Structure 1
Amino acid sequence: MNALNLIPLAFKKNLDRERMFLLLHGIIGLIVVIIAFNAIMLTTARFVLISHYNKLKNNTYLVNSGLINIQNDVVNINKKISDAEKIQSDFTKLSHLISDAQNLIPNGIIVDFMYIDMKESALRFSGVSNSRETLLQFKNNLETASFIKKLDSPLSNFLDKEDINFRFLADLQKNIYNK
């Protein structure tokens, strides 16, 4: 087949340039459309990720606040347990001491005041005795008691014969009534 070339050369070059321009225009247009599509996709993805991040942040805050509440509860419970252990370690059952001290009081002695200080291991008595003999018996009972280490008795306790106001100060044995 023979081809006739009826188009002048200058016009042919214009047509070639126009085809090249249209081809480049199409390629560039396609690239612009792809870039625009990617920009729209990235913008949409950004909004979705921001929304998801905010949801996670709120959920994490709820979990963390719940965790903080639980940790505070655990700390409070541990503090109460340590306080209870401290109280129990320092606990002294005074009812045994009072019962033992009461058994030492003979008839004729009225104890008006009894002070017990377990930290200082001190025991104080004051009261009234109907006679010097009962007061001496009470003093001897206190001196021979197993829970008393030392007894201080002022001489003024024994000056009168009857209706004697007395006071005794005793040092207790350490840790004899603990637990």
Structure 2
Amino acid sequence: MVAAHLREDSASHLILGNHDWFLREFLLDRLAADDLRRWIDQYGATGALLSYGIADPAADWTATRRRILGGWPGHRDVLCAARHVLVEEPFCFVHAGLRPQVPLAMQSAEDLMWIKAEFLDYRGAFEHRVVHGHTPTASGLPEVYPNRIALDTHAFKSGHLTAAVFEEGRLSHFLRTAVSADGTVTVEPLAAPA
């Protein structure tokens, strides 16, 4: 669904996150053995591969890669076209965050996908207000701070995926999804703080 939308709407962009990085590197056959083990043990390989209908990938990693590339040929291209950062004034969209006091042009891809405490604890201003996920909010709801907007509502545990809606250069509201026991997805609007 995401790949189809990205093909249909050239104004849409995928921001590359740490989990996406593992899948992209796997599909490009560039995951080192230790990274493959980290992906399996800590970063969602089982769930990602189950979404492709693959229950036992370790039996043959090469066959697993071929199966995904054969059945979903555009997925590798979507991941390769993903960005680490997108600026839409006055906002900057990244997966994890920014290293404080480092110009946006000098940020490392690793920080953009992985940074946590140093970014989250920083109270100063960035070049743009940062919109990010990666670290679940304490409230389980989107959280708005003077220098950033945190969207990670722990979807894989809570079942609530959250999005922010921006209109005319400002945060308008949030949308939060929920999946019922029968698989029905509902979307509810959440007000943004004034």
With CA pairs under 8 Å and 6+ residues apart, which has the higher RCO, 1 or 2? 1
TM-score by shorter chain over 0.5: no
**Scaled by the length of structure 2, what TM-score is found?**
0.21
**Scaled by the length of structure 1, what TM-score is found?**
0.23
Q: Which is greater in Rg? A: 1
